[in-house]
Structures are given as structure tokens and as C-alpha cells.
Structure 1
């Protein structure tokens, strides 16, 4: 069975009177051998989870860990002006020693767009603009960029990233525009609850869209891109605090064997990394991660 690196989301509702709880969980995930930790992006209260700015929280995680990669899962790119996005991501890339993975999406919540003063109808165009400008700033000093919302003339970013060309960008979404965005501006595709059939289909569609754009054969079927996905799991014996937002990994009554089998099928289909999103209370995070590390990970090698 192919090795499939596993990450874990830090999206539990951590107690507000213990701000270091999420950092302890990140250190524990690192000690247990997880590949990455992930933090989502919500501006308003979602009703479950720590609704923080992912770049701020992952900066604290960077200082509390040494190896584990740091994934925004996902950052809503239209909410961040291009220069701010480029500078904050480059700063975290430097502070973490190149451990940042910038997972991005266009967002969906109309209340958050209204509160942020960003027209929701522009979310796709702004995502393209902000990513394009950020990549120009990361790659060149000075940088020029002409976009619908951003214009740069001889701009030198305040801090150049330590990763050549900037942190890897994983683009979320399964629509054709999202896949084209991944091909143009990304280093990877990031799904939500994808099964093996969807991963196979995404690889096929990436190949077709690459061919339409005249890209090289190395891009066919996603060969140039990392394919990753969030996966939803409630470990056995641990109560769920909310309903899973997508397909349950390992079935509705998961066991270590069924979870490992599901992950193995995803790896065979071409998935390169999986982020486990656990809809459980913060007090159960250690036990859940320990079960995954002891019972599931050994079956993936």
C-alpha cells in the first residue's frame, strides 16, 4: 500500500481561557509523526471550531514546532489584498523555515464577504488577481504586475520568502475554473472529502484542461501538481460534536482497517496527502490523534 502522508486539522473549539491548547495539540501531532497541521479561515463565528486567522495561528504553531508542515485549509484569498497576502505568507514562510503550504479558495459565505466589504460576485476574479500578484512578488525583485485589482510597478516585497518562488499553493475547488486556477497559479489541488473516484476524475480533467491550454505532457493528469484533500473522520469511541460536512472516511462505523483501506484507495488514485478533519471536542483531540498514529499510520507503509 503506498505511503500517504497524513495531516490533522486544528479546528476544534479550543477553550478561550487556554490559548496555548492548540499549540500543545500541534506539538503532539508533530511528536506522533503527522505530516502537517491545518487551520481554516473564518471571519465570523461558524458555531464550531476555532475561527481564527490561519496565518496568525500558524505563526504561533511555527514557533511551537520544528518539523511539521503548516497548511491553511483553506485561506479565502479574496479577503486578503494581494500585497498583504504576499507579505504575510512570505513572513510565515521565513519564520517557519519553509514549512508553509498556502491552501487557498474563493470562499462562499455571503455574510463574511459583506462584512469584509468584498463583493461576493468578484471572488473568483480577486482570487486570480491576488494569487498572480503574490506569485510575482515572491519570484522577482523588483516585481511588476498588472491585474484587475492590483497594479505593481518595480515593487520589492518587504520580506522575500525562503522558499524559492514562494510557499507552495494548493488551490481548492473542483469546478473547471478552480482546476484552471490550479494549473495557472498553483502547485497543487486541494479537495474536500474526495473519494478515489473523484481524485481519478480530477486527474483526468486536469490533463484535459492542461492540453487545452497547450501545457506540456508533464502536466497531464495532474502530473505537475500535488493532489491533496481534506478527509472527514470520527475515530471510534469518540463522540462527534457536529455532523461531518462530507463523506465519512472509513465508512459510517470506521475501524482502523476501513480507514486505512480508504486511504490506500485514495493513494492508489493519485492522492499525495490527506488532512484529517475531526468533528470532536478539543478534550478528545489527543486521544484521537494517538489512535490514528498507533492504529492507522502503521498500515499505510
Structure 2
């Protein structure tokens, strides 16, 4: 079984009167040996937990931790003008010492697209445009880029990223369009609730869509996974297939993760649909009972 790196989503609805609780949880995740923490992208209240800007929150997490990788899971690329996206991501890459992983997607929420004045029908084209522009701005000083939504001439990004070529980009989505986007712009593919069969299928489809199989094989395969540890109540319904089945145990969760690793997954972000005051207990159970079985 290949090494599978586990991260945890900082998703619970944290108490507004204690804004540092999420930072303490991130530090605890680091102490427990998790590989990364992840923050989603919501502009409006979703009812599922933390609804913040991921780049802002992960900047605070960067200052509170030393080793953890910082994953946007996922940042909705059409919400951000390309130059803003490139500069904010480069800034976080610099202040974190190169720990940012930029998970991106096209988004789906009509209410949020209306609120930011971006037509929902343009979300795919804008994602491609913004990623291509960011790629140019991270790699070229000065940079020239002309796309359907972004044009820059002899532009020097305010802060160049510390990671050569810019932070790694994991492209979310399961469609052929999303997989082609990962091949064109990404360093990895990022799924949601994928099982081993789906990961195997994504590897096959990437190879079929790539001009060269080596281009497909270079991509990191990662996915969010959903888990409610035994003895800890769920705060919200799981949005997808639960790791370890309906009544998970350490053995069933480790077996499920092992199958994902054998299929080619190298990173799994555990989304825990539990209350904020139960998150540390849930992380401790994973660290004590599941991680040793994956070593």
C-alpha cells in the first residue's frame, strides 16, 4: 500500500465569540501528525459549518502552525478576478513558506454567483481563464496574458510565489471537462467522496484524455472523504459516502483508506460532520486508532 497522507477539514461551525478556536484546532491537528488542514469556500451561509474565505482563514492558520500544508477545498475560481487570485495565492504561499495547496473548482451555487455578479453559465470558462492567467503571472516577470476575461501586459505580480512556478493546483471535479482542466492547469486532481473504484476510473480516464500518459501520471490524486468516528454524534448529514460504512470502526476505516491508497490516492481530506467542540476528540481518535494502521 502506498503512503496515504491524511488531512482534516476545518469545517465545523465555530463559536463566533471565540475566533481563535479554529486556530487551536489547526495546531492540534499538526501536533497529532495530520498532513494538512482544509477550508472550503462559501460566501453565503451554507448551514454546513464554517463559511469563510479560505485564503484569509488559511493565512491565520499559517501563522499559528509550522508544518501543516494548507488546502483550499475548494476555492471557487470564478469568484476571484484572475489578478486578485494570483496575488492572494502567491501571498499565502510566501507567508506560509510554501505550504499552500490551491484546490480549485468551478462552483455551483446560483445565489452566490448572482451575489458576485458572475453569470453561472460562464463558470467553466472563467475558471480556465483565471488559472491560465495565474499560471502566467506566477511564472513570468513581466507577464503577458490575453484571455476572454483577463488581459495583462508586462505585468509584474505584487509578490512572486516562493514555490517555483506557483503553489500546486489541485483541480476538482469528476467530469471529462474537469479532468481535462486538471491535465492542462493542474498538479493534481481533487475528488469528493471517491471510492477505490472511482479513483481507478479517474486514473484510467486521465490517461485516455492526456496526449501523453506521463502527463496523466504526474498528477497527484486526492479526495475529500467523509467520516463520523464512533461514539461522536453527527451535527449535519454526511454529504457523501461515509468511510468505513454506516457503523465505522478503526479497522473498517483503515481498510477503506487502504483500498483508496492501493487505487492511487495519495492524500485524503477527512470531512468530519461533527460539532466544533467534538472535533479535537474526533481527530484524536483518528490519530490513535486509524493512522497507525496506515503506516
Place the TM-score, normalised by the shorter chain, in its bin.
Answer: over 0.9
CA distance in 2, matches of 1:217, 1:76: 28
Match of 2:286 in 1: 292
Alignment of 1:215-254 (within 5 A): 216-219=212-215, 222-254=216-248
Alignment of 1:1-301 (within 5 A): 1-210=1-210, 214=211, 216-219=212-215, 222-301=216-295
Runs of 5+ unmatched residues, structure 1: none
Shift of 1:183: 0.2
CA distance in 1, matches of 2:131, 2:213: 24
CA distance in 2, matches of 1:23, 1:217: 41
Shift of 1:29: 0.1
Q: Does the 8 A contact of 2:23 with 2:64 survive in 1?
A: yes
Number of residue pairs matched by the alignment: 295
SS at match of 1:70: strand
TM-score (norm 1): 0.97
SS at match of 2:158: coil
Shift of 1:48: 2.2
Runs of 4+ in 1 over 4 A off after TM superposition: none
CA distance in 1, matches of 2:11, 2:54: 10
Q: Does the 8 A contact of 2:2 with 2:266 survive in 1?
A: no
Show CA shifts across 1:59-102 (max 9, x none).
00000000000000000000000000000000000000000000
Q: Does the 8 A contact of 2:170 with 2:189 survive in 1?
A: yes
TM-score (norm 2): 0.99
Runs of 5+ unmatched residues, structure 2: none
